[in-house]
């Protein structure tokens, strides 16, 4: 196994631009079921009926890694996970066998310039998302790529991370969502290639181009449902736990609305806030993490992860009670 790993080509790059296990090397590694559950825990976890719902939030969603850390420290492996956007990526990779330390390592090299594909350009990338969106060169590039029917580098990266894994083959019941711009409807993924589902759910409006699957044009599921509790119940959950990482909407002075892109970005903020707060009452347990970082600020990964872990541990008895009640 060690020799095989050494032979892996160095140019294989994951979402974060770091070497990752290819589909071939992952096939030779211990299965996700054994890595997550061990031989004595799989039956118990499969029969459990509680769910972990991971909402989107960009860099704020990295707190979910800390949540997973705290749960594993207490031998709590969610039998069901649903998510959207960042929550879908982390939940899907966890279900595929990536442990929190691996997720944190990947996250340390994330930035919106990398995700949006600007890392190979000479465009100076500003610190603030709104300034970034207002770059004329970026706007033209995004519109051009939306109209192209060519290879998708993000899909390729996700495929390298999880191979040809099917959602229905995961040891954890998993589901994520996206929004089809063609029909205007929420699309739930509970089967099929995992990499395609994650690619669709992560397409944040005006930053990452939509995913094209057949006649669908798919974007971030958080636009319609940033907290997919109902999907978790459809997958069999009787009790649902939600770590809340969304930022409550604050007033924005009218003088700041000095461009169309700022107005569009604000509109997305309003929609995401509504699609989160309207769903939280559907959960059985919500813990408020509220990371103090912006959506696209990936410079404080460790702090955000530690916060998620700490808040989860502070509420671990309530979580254990929920697990017991789920049966």
Tens-place pLDDT, residues 11-29: 333 343 333 343 443 433 3
Q: Does the annotation count 107 as an active-site position?
A: no
Q: Is the pLDDT of residue 311 over 90?
A: yes
Tens-place pLDDT, residues 166-194: 999 999 999 999 999 999 999 999 999 99
Which residues contact residue 227 at a Cβ distance below 8 angstroms, ignoring those fewer than 6 apart? 53, 55, 84, 242, 275, 276, 279, 280, 282, 283
Q: Does the annotation count 260 as an active-site position?
A: no
Token output for 195: 């990499």
Q: What angle, 0 to 180 degrees and rounded to 10, lies between the N-to-C axes of helices 153-162 and 86-95?
A: 30
Q: Is the pLDDT of residue 287 over 80?
A: yes
Q: Quick one: CA torsion of 124, 129, 130, 135, rounded to 10 degrees?
A: 30
Domains and CATH numbers, the chain: 2-326 (3.40.1090.10)
Percent of the chain with pLDDT over 70: 70
pLDDT of residue 44: 38
Distances (CA, A) of 46 to 36, 151, 172, 305: 12, 37, 7, 27
pLDDT range class, residue 262, cuts 50, 70, 90: confident
180, 220, 244, 297: the active-site residue:
220
* 219: phi then psi, degrees, rounded to nearest 5: -130, 175
| Strand partners for 266 | none
Q: What angle, 0 to 180 degrees and rounded to 10, lies between the N-to-C axes of helices 194-201 and 86-95?
A: 160
Q: Is the pLDDT of residue 306 over 80?
A: yes
pLDDT of residue 30: 40
Give CA–CA dist 88/231, Å, rounded: 12
pLDDT range class, residue 99, cuts 50, 70, 90: very high
Tens-place pLDDT, residues 104-156: 998 876 544 454 444 444 444 434 444 444 444 444 555 555 544 555 778 88
Query: Average pLDDT of the chain?
Result: 78
Rounded to two decimals, what is the model's pTM? 0.79
- Write a three-state SS string for the chain: CHHHHHCCCCCCCCCCCCCCCCHHHHHHCCCHHHHHHCCCCHHHHHHCCEEEEECCCHHHHHHHHHHHHHHHHCCCCCCEEEECCHHHHHHHHHHCCCCHHHHHHHHCCCCHHHHCCCCCCCCCCCCCHHHHHCCHHHHHHHHHHHCCCCCCHHHHHHHHHHCCCEHHHCCCEEEEEEEECCCCEEEEECCCEHHHHHHHHCCCCCCCCCEEECCEEEEEHHHCCCCCHHHHHHCCCCEEEEEECCCCCCCCCHHHCCCHHHHHHHHHHHHHHHHHHCCHHHCCEEEECCCCCCCCCCCCHHHHHHHHHHHHHHCHHHHHHHHHHHC
């Amino acid at each position: 196994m060690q020799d095989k790993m050494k032979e892996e080509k160095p140019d294989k790059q994951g979402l974060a631009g770091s070497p990752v296990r290819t589909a071939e090397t992952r096939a030779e590694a211990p299965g996700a079921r054994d890595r997550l559950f061990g031989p004595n825990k799989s039956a118990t976890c499969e029969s459990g009926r509680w769910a972990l719902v991971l909402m989107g939030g960009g860099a704020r969603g990295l707190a979910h890694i800390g949540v997973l850390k705290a749960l594993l420290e207490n031998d709590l492996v969610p039998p069901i996970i649903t998510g959207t956007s960042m929550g879908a990526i982390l939940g899907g990779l966890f279900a595929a066998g990536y442990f929190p330390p691996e997720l944190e390592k990947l996250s340390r090299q994330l930035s919106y310039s990398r995700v949006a594909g600007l890392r190979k350009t000479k465009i100076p990338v500003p610190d603030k998302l709104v300034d970034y969106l207002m770059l004329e060169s970026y706007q033209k590039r995004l519109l051009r790529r939306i109209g192209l029917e060519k290879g998708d580098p993000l899909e390729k990266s996700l495929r390298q991370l999880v191979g040809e894994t099917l959602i229905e083959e995961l040891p954890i019941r998993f589901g994520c969502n996206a929004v089809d711009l063609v029909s205007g409807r929420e699309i739930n993924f509970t089967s099929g290639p995992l990499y395609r589902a994650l690619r669709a759910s992560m397409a944040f409006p005006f930053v990452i181009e939509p995913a094209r699957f057949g006649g669908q044009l798919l974007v971030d599921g958080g636009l319609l449902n940033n907290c997919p509790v109902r999907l978790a119940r459809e997958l069999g959950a009787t009790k649902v736990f939600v770590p809340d990482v969304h930022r409550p909407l604050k007033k924005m002075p009218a003088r700041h609305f000095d461009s169309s892109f700022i107005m569009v970005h604000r509109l997305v903020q309003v929609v995401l806030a509504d699609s989160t707060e309207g769903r939280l009452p559907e959960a059985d347990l919500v813990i408020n993490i509220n990371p103090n970082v912006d959506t696209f600020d990936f410079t404080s990964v460790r702090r955000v992860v530690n916060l998620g872990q700490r808040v989860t541990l502070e509420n671990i008895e309530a979580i254990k009670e929920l697990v017991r009640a789920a049966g």
